[in-house]
Amino acid sequence: MKDIFKLAIFVFLLFSIALPIKAQGNVATSTPSKQTRQEVTQNADEAQGTAVREANSERIENKAATQAARLTEMKKNNVRKHYTRMGYRLQAAINRLETLITRIQSRITKIEEADEDIDTTEISNELEEAKLSLANIENMMIAEAKDKMEEMANSEEPQESFQDLKETILEIKQEIIDVHQTLVKLIGDIKGLRVAEGL
């Protein structure tokens, strides 16, 4: 019985010492698997986060591009409307100058009918030059401005086209102002003829 008792104690001690060592071995082998699972989970989270960030960044870029295109189109429409109004205004100024030329011609005709001794050839020549200048403005410059406006609307770089259009419009304005000044001078010359006639 003593031997059985000793054997039982020996088995008990063997199991009590061996089990904790085996348990420590299991803990040691299970820890790397937990770390591996954590790393895999973390890598998956990072990959998913990267994909989400890329998708968001792509969506934002698309939205920005769409807004930029919409803004560019709105700017083009605003510029087109502005220069369309400018075209109407310039055409109205040209029509007023044509009316003024017609009236000046009528006055010159009346002066010549009233007194054939008065020399109106210089005034008539200047009036013809003003007429030709006005016709040039109406035919060539306004057509050129319309072409440049369409070019600007369809251009990839509207800033450069806009500058060209702006310069053309300013040239047209200056030509109209020059014709107007010539006509004002002619009216003064006609009044001078009328005053000389009264003396």
- Cβ neighbour number for residue 110 with a 10 Å cutoff: 11
Asked whether residue 197 carries a pLDDT value surpassing 60, the answer given is: no
Closest residue by Cα to residue 150 from 164, 138, 139, 137? 164
Number of structural domains (the chain) is 1
Mean residue pLDDT of the chain comes to 80
pLDDT at 25: 52
Instruction: Give dist(CA 76, CA 158) in Å, integer.
Output: 8
Instruction: Give dist(CA 66, CA 88) in Å, integer.
Output: 33
pLDDT at 199: 42
Asked whether residue 24 carries a pLDDT value surpassing 60, the answer given is: no
Q: Kindly report, residue by residue over 53-104, the tens digit of the pLDDT.
A: 888 888 888 888 888 888 878 877 887 888 888 888 988 999 999 999 999 9
Tell me the residue range of the domain where 177 lies.
2-198
- Cβ neighbour number for residue 183 with a 10 Å cutoff: 20
> What one-letter code names the amino acid at 44?
A
DSSP letter assigned to residue 119: -
Instruction: Give dist(CA 193, CA 118) in Å, integer.
Output: 8
When comparing pLDDT for 146 and 137, which is higher?
Answer: 137
Asked whether residue 31 carries a pLDDT value surpassing 70, the answer given is: no
Q: Kindly report, residue by residue over 101-128, the tens digit of the pLDDT.
A: 999 999 988 888 887 778 888 989 999 9
pLDDT at 95: 93
